[in-house]
Amino acid sequence: MGTRGRAGSGPVRPDDPSVDAKIGSPCIWSNTFTNMSDDSVFFPARVHSIAPPEAAREFQLMQCFCFDDQSLGPRETVKAAGLLRALARGRRSTPTS
């Protein structure tokens, strides 16, 4: 039957410790998830958050594994990716006359 995922179900590791996000260009990142238990786990879709909140204003999250429900079988490891765009805050596009 499986259990609902929770902290401690297994490690979540970024595949790269940092990403090179260029303003206005899409940037892909990925994480590796491992279910360390002998039971299947289910993670319901959540609203993604970026911390600290000040940083959240600088990114547009376009696609994320967190937008969809996820299931991992016993001892299963999967890679999951996301897509974001760095926004140019403080720069205003003003029409020329």
- Note the pLDDT tens digit of each residue in 36-92: 999 998 888 876 677 788 878 888 888 888 888 889 999 999 998 889 888 887 544
Can you name the residues that pair with 83 across neighbouring β-strands? 28, 63
Report the C-alpha gap between 60 and 66 in whole angstroms. Answer: 14
Q: What is the pLDDT of residue 45?
A: 82
Residues in Cβ contact with 48 at an 8 Å cutoff, skipping those fewer than 6 apart = 61, 64, 66, 67
